[in-house]
Amino acid sequence: MSSTTPNSDRAAAAPLRYARWWTGLGLLALAAGVGVALRPGGGLLLVTLGDKLNHALAITVFTAWFGGVVAPGRMWRVALLLLGYGIAIEGAQALTPYRQAEFLDVGADASGILLGWGMSAAGLRHWCRWLEAWLVAPRSP
């Protein structure tokens, strides 16, 4: 790299300093999502437009989160794992007496995966690097 390369380009090329932390926090968020999806009395409605929009919104956030952690060439793995996550939640809901599985929820999850992947490809995948650059930036006295 030349000395004229902007700091943001150098940060994008450097490996993540806290990749394990970002991955761990993402996995904790996924676990919390399972808890919300399986709790009695319905899920936590983030918006009042319905269950499907909440599915899509949550999976969009998860996809964008992990899009910041994994290499762009591995996003297809993230997409498959998140689709499996959505299917597993529907299967678990079918086993509860107070929740029901819905095929359309998986469709909403797939829509969220596509949206989150698109956001990552459009540049949001650098969110971890931007945050790390800010966290470790030298502070002036």
Per-residue pLDDT of the chain (141 residues; tens, 9 = 90+): 444 444 444 444 568 888 899 999 999 999 999 998 888 865 555 554 578 898 999 999 999 999 999 999 999 999 999 999 999 999 999 999 988 888 999 999 999 999 999 999 998 888 888 888 888 776 666
> Are residues 62 and 86 in contact, defined by beta-carbon separation less than 8 angstroms?
no
Residue entry with tokens 């997409």? 79
The amino acid occupying position 92 is A
Distance (Å) of CA 94 to CA 27, 34, 84: 23, 13, 15
> Are residues 11 and 133 in contact, defined by beta-carbon separation less than 8 angstroms?
yes
**101 DSSP assignment:** -
Q: Which of 50, 24, 34 is nearest to 87 (CA)?
A: 34
